[in-house]
Amino acid sequence: MGKEIERKFLLANDQWRKKGEGTLFRQGYILSDPAKTVRVRICNHKGFLTIKGIGKGISRPEFEYEIPFDDADFLLDNFCEHPILEKIRYRIEHQEMIWEIDEFLGENAGLLLAEIELETENQIFSRPQWVGREVTGITRYYNSSLVKYPYKDWKD
User: 5 with 118: CB under 8 angstroms?
Assistant: yes
Q: Which residues are catalytic?
A: 29
Q: Give the pTM.
A: 0.93
| 35 pLDDT higher than 70 | yes
- Mean pLDDT of all residues in the chain? 94
CATH number reported for the structural domain that contains residue 19 in this entry:
2.40.320.10
| 1 pLDDT higher than 70 | no
% of the chain beyond a pLDDT of 70: 99
| 137 pLDDT higher than 80 | yes
Query: What's the residue count for the chain?
Result: 156
Give the residue numbers spanning the domain of 100.
Answer: 3-153
Instruction: Kindly state the average pLDDT of the residues 124-136.
Output: 96
What is the pLDDT at residue 86?
Answer: 98
Query: How many domains is the chain built from?
Result: 1
45-61 per-position pLDDT tens digit: 999 999 999 888 889 99
Phi-psi region of 75 (alpha: psi -120 to 50; beta: other; left: phi over 0): alpha
What is the pLDDT at residue 141?
Answer: 96
| Closest by Cα among 151, 134, 149, 135 to 87 | 151
